[in-house]
């Protein structure tokens, strides 16, 4: 299992520490920003916390067993920074190291490749108090944390991710305001955060490479390929700005080691602070190019010309309790367009499977043959189990099948995709959406000792993996036979 390069296509599923572990104050863990936010901040509108969640901390063997029984050969999870460094830096918590050693060792014992993310939204409170990602000091703190993890687990973990969705995280924290530290429409904070995440990620990549641990490291981007509505007047301008805002700031720095130059004049023109951009960081980007790209694929970014009104983001954390459609209007830049031909989920997010294909083709065109993992793809919905606790989630199956078909088509068309992770392994805490919005392949009964029940989608995914493996073997056999025939013919 240790040599990813020689490995077959990876099929698995994903979770994140704060969303599934629970055990929020166990075994020396420090306080996280989400612990503080979820305990009483009025903006935590559904009132749920990750204190216990599905209690992966005590159920990890059961979850990994289930995953393996479902034919999955990889598991993506994240490490809680505050579990490893309770104060964000300095003293290491052995309790945290022991926990992740147990998880990693159990994965390997079961033939499941661990894919480990260092940061998935859950900042230690000690770092948050210093200004979090807005404060340049976080770059060194993150580098220290990354080094501790690489040193402790790098002998066994061969797939690393620095940061999960730097852009979406900054967007929620500083534009939507639904994630801590809950700022709204704050471009200065948004760009400062994204920039520091990009620098911190590049530094961690460079450290990983310097340690020569014989694995690979990437970043996970929430892929929002920009598509412009057909009746848009300023198509090129709108596309260029949105692409810088959403994608290039992360992808160019991570994949090319270059900060997108066009961004600086754009920010200055609109009075957005750029003082945090340092000349010496350009070298950091160059030295911190990723080995692969992780893409969380949910939707595209469909836009048109700005019409009128102040900058505003539209977000729905109430599900069926609200009719808000997810979107944005940025004064003088662009605004979300509504495609009358696509469906939306109950949280107002567009369902558009073809964005999988379009994103992958765009990545190939821009960044060449870089290996890509689909690190998340899934469907959030309300669910009702039958009397046996079984959930028939046909809607999820239909949706995910659509995205996977487009992924396979992109692979046929030359995209270098190495793996696919369903979001999520089991039901878990969906941030501000709480527990009502479910994503798991496995149902968790949060009211009955967190009992696990595989859903219909779990069995569908298992069968899909089996069929894929069969095709892989047949192809390998055919390839081998053709090679034999060729050699025989040559020698005749």
Cα–Cα distance for residue pair 386/379, rounded to 1 Å: 20
3-state secondary structure of 350: strand
125 is catalytic: no
376 contributes a contact to ligand BG6 by CB under 6 A = yes
Q: Residues 17-56: x/- map of binding to ligand BG6 (CB under 6 A)? A: --x-------------------------------------
433 contributes a contact to ligand BG6 by CB under 6 A = yes
Helix 354-367 / helix 394-412 crossing angle, nearest 10 deg: 30
> What is the end-to-end Cα distance of the chain in Å, rounded?
40
Q: Are 116 and 84 in contact (CB under 8 A)?
A: no
228 burial via Cβ count (<10 Å: 0-12, 13-18, 19+) = buried
Selected from 80, 223, 359, 430, the binder of ligand BG6 by CB under 6 A is 430
Q: Residues 274-303: x/- map of binding to ligand BG6 (CB under 6 A)? A: ----------------------x-------
359 contributes a contact to ligand BG6 by CB under 6 A = no
Of 113, 76, 160, 164, nearest to 425 (Cα)?
76
Judged by beta carbon, residue 192 or residue 375, the one nearer ligand BG6 is 375
Judged by beta carbon, residue 24 or residue 431, the one nearer ligand BG6 is 431
168 contributes a contact to ligand BG6 by CB under 6 A = yes
Judged by beta carbon, residue 132 or residue 257, the one nearer ligand BG6 is 132
Stretch that binds ligand BG6, among 62-70, 100-108, 423-431, 444-452 (CB under 6 A): 423-431
Cα–Cα distance for residue pair 337/301, rounded to 1 Å: 9
Q: Which residues from 233-272 bind ligand BG6, rule CB under 6 A?
A: none
125 contributes a contact to ligand BG6 by CB under 6 A = no
Selected from 165, 281, 335, 362, the binder of ligand BG6 by CB under 6 A is 165
Stretch that binds ligand BG6, among 223-231, 323-331, 389-397, 425-433 (CB under 6 A): 425-433
Stretch that binds ligand BG6, among 229-237, 268-276, 299-307, 426-434 (CB under 6 A): 426-434
- Give the count of residues interacting with ligand BG6 (CB under 6 A): 14
165 is catalytic: yes
Query: Does residue 319 come out as left (phi exceeding 0), alpha (psi in the -120 to 50 range) or beta?
Result: left
3-state secondary structure of 212: coil
Cα–Cα distance for residue pair 340/320, rounded to 1 Å: 20
Selected from 22, 380, 434, 440, the binder of ligand BG6 by CB under 6 A is 380
222 contributes a contact to ligand BG6 by CB under 6 A = yes
Angle at 26 between CA 20 and CA 31, to 5 degrees: 80
The number of beta carbons lying within 10 Å of the beta carbon of residue 3 is 9
How far is CA 304 from its chain centroid? 26
User: Least CB distance from residue 132 to ligand BG6, whole Å?
Assistant: 18
Cα–Cα distance for residue pair 292/216, rounded to 1 Å: 7
Stretch that binds ligand BG6, among 62-70, 182-190, 429-437, 466-474 (CB under 6 A): 429-437
Cβ-based neighbours of 332, under 8 Å, separated by 6 or more: 270, 306
Selected from 289, 437, 438, 452, the binder of ligand BG6 by CB under 6 A is 437
Give the single-character DSSP code of 211: T
How far is CA 302 from its chain centroid? 20
Selected from 80, 117, 164, 457, the binder of ligand BG6 by CB under 6 A is 164
Query: Hey, which residues are catalytic here?
Result: 165, 376
């Amino acid at each position: 299992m240790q040599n990813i390069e020689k490995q077959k296509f990876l099929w698995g599923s994903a979770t994140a520490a704060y969303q599934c572990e629970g055990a929020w104050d166990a075994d020396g863990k420090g306080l996280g920003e989400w612990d503080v936010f979820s305990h009483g901040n009025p903006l935590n509108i559904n009132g749920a916390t990750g204190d216990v969640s599905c209690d992966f901390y005590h159920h990890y063997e059961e979850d990994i067993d289930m995953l393996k029984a479902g034919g999955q050969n990889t598991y993506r999870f994240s490490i809680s920074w505050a579990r490893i460094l309770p104060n964000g830096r300095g003293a290491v918590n052995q309790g945290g190291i022991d926990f992740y050693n147990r998880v990693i060792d159990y994965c390997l014992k079961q033939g499941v490749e661990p894919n480990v993310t260092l940061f998935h939204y859950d900042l230690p409170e000690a770092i948050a108090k210093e200004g979090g990602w807005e404060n340049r000091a976080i770059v060194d703190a993150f580098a220290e944390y990354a080094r501790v993890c690489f040193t402790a687990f790098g002998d066994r973990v061969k797939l690393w991710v620095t940061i999960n969705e730097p852009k979406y995280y900054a967007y929620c924290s500083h534009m939507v305001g639904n994630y801590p530290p809950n700022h709204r429409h704050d471009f200065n904070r948004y760009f400062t955060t994204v920039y520091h995440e990009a620098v911190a990620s590049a530094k961690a990549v460079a450290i990983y490479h310097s340690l020569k641990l014989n694995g690979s490291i990437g970043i996970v981007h929430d892929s929002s390929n920009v598509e412009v509505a057909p009746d848009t007047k300023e198509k090129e301008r709108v596309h260029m700005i949105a692409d810088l805002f959403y994608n290039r700031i992360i992808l160019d720095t991570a994949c090319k080691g270059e900060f997108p130059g066009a961004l600086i004049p754009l920010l200055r023109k609109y009075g957005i602070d750029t003082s945090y951009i340092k000349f010496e960081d350009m070298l950091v980007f160059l030295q911190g190019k990723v080995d692969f790209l992780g893409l969380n694929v949910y939707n595209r970014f469909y836009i048109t010309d700005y019409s009128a009104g102040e900058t505003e983001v539209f977000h729905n954390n109430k599900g069926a309790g609200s009719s808000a459609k997810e979107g944005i209007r940025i004064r003088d830049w662009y605004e979300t367009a509504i495609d009358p031909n696509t469906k939306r989920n109950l949280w107002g997010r567009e369902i558009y499977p073809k964005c999988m294909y379009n994103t992958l083709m765009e990545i190939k065109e821009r960044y060449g043959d870089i290996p890509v993992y689909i690190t998340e793809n899934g469907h959030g919905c309300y669910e009702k189990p039958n009397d046996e606790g079984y959930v028939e989630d046909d809607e999820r199956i239909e949706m995910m099948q659509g995205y996977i078909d487009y992924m396979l088509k992109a692979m046929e068309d030359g995209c270098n995709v190495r793996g696919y992770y369903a979001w999520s392994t089991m039901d878990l805490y969906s941030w501000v959406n709480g527990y009502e919005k479910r994503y798991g392949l496995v149902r968790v009964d949060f009211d009955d000792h967190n009992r696990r029940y595989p859903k219909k989608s779990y069995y569908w995914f298992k069968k899909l993996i089996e069929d894929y493996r069969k095709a892989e073997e047949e192809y390998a056999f055919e390839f081998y036979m053709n090679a034999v025939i060729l050699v025989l013919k040559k020698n005749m």
